[in-house]
């Protein structure tokens, strides 16, 4: 997952895009970028690190213009510290296109070859997003050949071409020079994208964002989710057109957005992420009542931040006190999306500290939204014991994560997942807990459909190994795994000790 934004406004958008990126920071901490358009000219700045590290005042001053796009990156392809892979990406023909992408293409290697041999285009990074941009540009050229009048129809045809060629997950915002802001979603709508507006005395302003929380904080009204397969085109003057461009759209939003990725104050597919997490807590409590009635629990303790809504409801249903046992250092980011195991492990200890009184002599039930690599749970269980807990039970609001994700969450190798090739009891032993309770996949889905019964299916691959796009074979997964093992992200080896903020400020110096 990454965070993307696109805006067409009636006044300069540089500060608005910066503020929007800060609100989407939880979706990507490795790099950030903003591009704006002033007349026919594109202006851009991008760099490594957090939003606050990637931009200086002088960079912001240069970003003139009333429309633009922005991106915060959590890489799935390439390397974390390669500023060349920060987004947006640019191609100069046709017209000039800037693009920012959330998701991951599963056929980017084939596309890259096609592009070189047939489309005569060179891709200069290992980023799948640069591939996506070049496919869009090529499809636009094709559409122009077939239909020389360049208008919204031409662009929607090009998006249909992208749908035909690109596999995987993509929520996209793009700027087409002199033409406007384009936003579209893959035919499964795997990654989220919403649109809202703001009526001003000078006309309607439009904002497209990964999450509705960006609309709330920037003063825009949420209108709706962009539909899977749909494209929306907004002229710099604010005229809007939209069209379904996919032949067979088949909605399947990513379940993990609800579990962890999204902010709880966002609305996705008509579902309040917060409410769905509360439901997860309710269902998890029912499972404990049913299958673990023997557990004597003195306190339910959340692992900050993302598990709080579930833990709170779980405690209410079990009628057990809800206590804050860990204090989070608010200056440390999300550990799961940090690059490299060494930095993730170190950060859990830096980020969370136990309040001894809440543990001494007690049987505690620790609740987290998910257990992925087990980095957090292993450290946290040890900390609870060090703080004097009698028994340490652990509950996860999501089922075991056993399979790789290839749609924009960086977990490409099964070996790194603590639940891969382990039974629940082996996982319990591995994290050092006295009991371990997992949500079932059915109840996780029910937590979301309880809020919006019209969602019929989800992208669930990391839980059940079913890859909705149909093109992900065992050979493909082996290939991705081998590629990552052969060329780990920079920080997975000795670079793992690097401090992200330090790297960013050195690059900015």
Ligand X SMILES: O=P(O)(O)OC[C@H]1O[C@H](OP(=O)(O)OP(=O)(O)O)[C@H](O)[C@@H]1O
Ligand Y SMILES: NC(=O)CC[C@H](N)C(=O)O
Residues that bind ligand X (CB under 6 A): 260, 303-306, 334-337, 368-377
- Binding of residue 306 to Mg ion (CB under 5 A): yes
Give the DSSP letter of residue 55: -
Interacting residues of 148 by C-beta distance below 8 A, sequence separation 6+: none
Q: How far apart are CA 136 and CA 118, in angstroms?
A: 15
Interacting residues of 91 by C-beta distance below 8 A, sequence separation 6+: 97, 133, 134, 137
Three-state secondary structure call for residue 42: strand
User: Least distance in Å: CB of 322 to Mg ion?
Assistant: 17
Interface pattern 54-93 for ligand Y (x via CB under 6 A): -------------------xxxxxx---------------
- Binding of residue 128 to ligand Y (CB under 6 A): yes
Structure tokens at 29: 């901490």
Interacting residues of 35 by C-beta distance below 8 A, sequence separation 6+: 42, 43, 44, 63, 68, 69, 70, 88, 90, 98, 100, 175
User: Least distance in Å: CB of 112 to ligand X?
Assistant: 30
Answer with the entry of ligand X, Mg ion, ligand Y, none that 335 interacts with (C-beta below 5 to 8 A by kind): ligand X
The four Cα atoms 261, 131, 171, 252 give a dihedral, to 10 degrees, of: -80
Interacting residues of 116 by C-beta distance below 8 A, sequence separation 6+: 122, 123
User: Least distance in Å: CB of 458 to ligand X?
Assistant: 19
User: Least distance in Å: CB of 318 to ligand Y?
Assistant: 36
306 labelled ligand-binding: yes
User: Least distance in Å: CB of 429 to ligand X?
Assistant: 16
Interacting residues of 276 by C-beta distance below 8 A, sequence separation 6+: 258, 447, 448, 450, 451
- Binding of residue 102 to ligand Y (CB under 6 A): yes
Answer with the entry of ligand X, Mg ion, ligand Y, none that 128 interacts with (C-beta below 5 to 8 A by kind): ligand Y
Interacting residues of 357 by C-beta distance below 8 A, sequence separation 6+: none
Answer with the entry of ligand Y, Mg ion, ligand X, none that 276 interacts with (C-beta below 5 to 8 A by kind): none
Structure tokens at 24: 């989407």
Residues present in the chain in total = 509
User: Least distance in Å: CB of 395 to ligand X?
Assistant: 12
Q: How far apart are CA 262 and CA 450, in angstroms?
A: 18
Phi, psi torsion values for 499, nearest 5 degrees:
-100, 125
Closer to Mg ion at the Cβ: 245 or 348? Answer: 348
369 labelled ligand-binding: yes
Which range binds Mg ion by CB under 5 A, 177-185, 306-314, 391-399, 423-431?
306-314
Closer to ligand Y at the Cβ: 98 or 392? Answer: 98
Closer to ligand X at the Cβ: 101 or 373? Answer: 373
Interface pattern 284-323 for ligand Y (x via CB under 6 A): ----------------------------------------
Closer to ligand Y at the Cβ: 254 or 364? Answer: 254
- Binding of residue 412 to ligand Y (CB under 6 A): no
Other CB atoms within a 10 A radius of the CB of residue 363 amount to 18
Answer with the entry of Mg ion, ligand Y, ligand X, none that 260 interacts with (C-beta below 5 to 8 A by kind): ligand X
Other CB atoms within a 10 A radius of the CB of residue 293 amount to 7
User: Least distance in Å: CB of 402 to ligand Y?
Assistant: 20
Peptide bond into 88 cis (omega under 30): yes
166 is a catalytic site residue: no
Answer with the entry of ligand Y, ligand X, Mg ion, none that 370 interacts with (C-beta below 5 to 8 A by kind): ligand X
Catalytic residue among 2, 245, 254, 462: 2
461 labelled ligand-binding: no
Q: How far apart are CA 283 and CA 278, in angstroms?
A: 9
Phi, psi torsion values for 438, nearest 5 degrees:
-110, 145
User: Least distance in Å: CB of 379 to ligand X?
Assistant: 8
Answer with the entry of ligand Y, Mg ion, ligand X, none that 1 interacts with (C-beta below 5 to 8 A by kind): ligand Y
Beta strands in 358-481 (DSSP E): 363-368, 391-396, 435-438
Answer with the entry of ligand Y, ligand X, Mg ion, none that 375 interacts with (C-beta below 5 to 8 A by kind): ligand X
Closer to ligand X at the Cβ: 74 or 184? Answer: 74
Answer with the entry of ligand X, Mg ion, ligand Y, none that 130 interacts with (C-beta below 5 to 8 A by kind): none
Closer to ligand X at the Cβ: 115 or 352? Answer: 352
Closer to ligand X at the Cβ: 102 or 469? Answer: 102
Task: For the chain, state the CA radius of gyration.
Answer: 23
Question: Are residues 226 and 193 in contact, defined by beta-carbon separation less than 8 angstroms?
Answer: yes
User: What does the binding site for ligand Y look like in residue numbers (CB under 6 A)?
Assistant: 1-2, 73-78, 101-104, 127-129, 408
Q: Which residues are catalytic?
A: 2
User: What does the binding site for Mg ion look like in residue numbers (CB under 5 A)?
Assistant: 306
Annotated binding site for Mg(2+): 306, 368-369
């Amino acid at each position: 997952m990454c965070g993307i934004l696109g805006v067409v406004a009636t006044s300069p958008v540089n500060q608005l895009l910066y503020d929007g990126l800060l609100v989407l920071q939880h979706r990507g901490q490795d790099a950030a970028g903003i591009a704006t358009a002033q007349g026919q000219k594109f202006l851009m700045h991008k760099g490594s690190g957090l939003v606050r590290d990637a931009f200086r005042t002088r960079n912001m001053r240069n970003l003139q213009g009333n429309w633009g796009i922005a991106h915060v990156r959590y890489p799935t392809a390439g390397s974390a510290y390669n500023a060349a892979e920060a987004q947006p990406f640019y191609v100069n023909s046709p017209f000039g296109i800037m693009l920012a992408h959330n998701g991951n293409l599963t056929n980017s290697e084939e596309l890259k070859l096609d592009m070189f041999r047939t489309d005569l285009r060179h891709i200069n990074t290992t980023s799948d997003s640069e591939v996506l941009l070049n496919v869009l540009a090529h499809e636009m050229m094709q559409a122009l050949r077939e239909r020389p009048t360049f208008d919204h129809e031409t662009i929607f045809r090009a998006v249909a071409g992208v749908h035909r060629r690109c596999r995987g997950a993509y929520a996209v915002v793009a700027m087409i020079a002199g033409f406007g802001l384009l936003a579209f979603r893959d035919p499964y709508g795997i990654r989220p994208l919403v649109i809202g507006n703001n009526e001003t005395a000078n006309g309607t302003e439009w904002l497209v964002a990964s999450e509705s929380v960006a609309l709330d904080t920037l003063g825009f009204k949420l209108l709706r989710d962009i539909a899977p397969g749909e494209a929306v085109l907004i002229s710099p003057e604010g005229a809007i057109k939209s069209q379904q461009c996919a032949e067979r759209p088949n909605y399947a939003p990513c379940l993990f957005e609800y579990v962890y990725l999204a902010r709880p104050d966002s609305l996705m597919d008509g579902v309040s992420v917060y409410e769905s997490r509360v439901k997860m807590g309710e269902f998890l409590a029912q499972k404990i009542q049913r299958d673990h009635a023997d557990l004597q629990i003195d306190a339910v303790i959340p692992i900050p931040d993302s598990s709080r809504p579930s833990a709170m409801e779980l405690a209410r249903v079990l009628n057990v006190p809800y206590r804050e046992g860990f204090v989070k250092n608010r200056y440390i980011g999300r550990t799961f999306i940090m690059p490299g195991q060494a930095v993730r492990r170190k950060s859990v200890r830096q980020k969370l500290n136990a309040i001894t009184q809440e543990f001494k002599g007690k049987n505690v039930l620790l609740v987290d939204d998910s257990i992925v690599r087990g980095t957090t749970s292993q450290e946290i269980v040890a900390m609870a014991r060090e703080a004097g807990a009698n028994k340490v039970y652990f509950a996860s609001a999501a089922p075991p994560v056993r399979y790789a994700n290839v749609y924009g969450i960086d977990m490409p190798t099964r070996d790194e997942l603590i639940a891969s090739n382990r039974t629940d009891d082996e996982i319990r032993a591995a994290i050092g807990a006295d009991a371990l309770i997992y949500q079932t996949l059915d109840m996780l889905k029910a937590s979301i459909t309880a809020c919006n019964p019209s969602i019929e299916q989800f992208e669930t691959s990391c839980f059940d190994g079913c890859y909705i796009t149909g093109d992900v074979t065992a050979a493909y997964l082996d290939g991705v795994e081998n590629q990552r093992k052969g060329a780990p992200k920079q920080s997975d080896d000795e670079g793992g000790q690097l401090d992200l903020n330090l790297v960013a400020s050195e690059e900015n110096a």
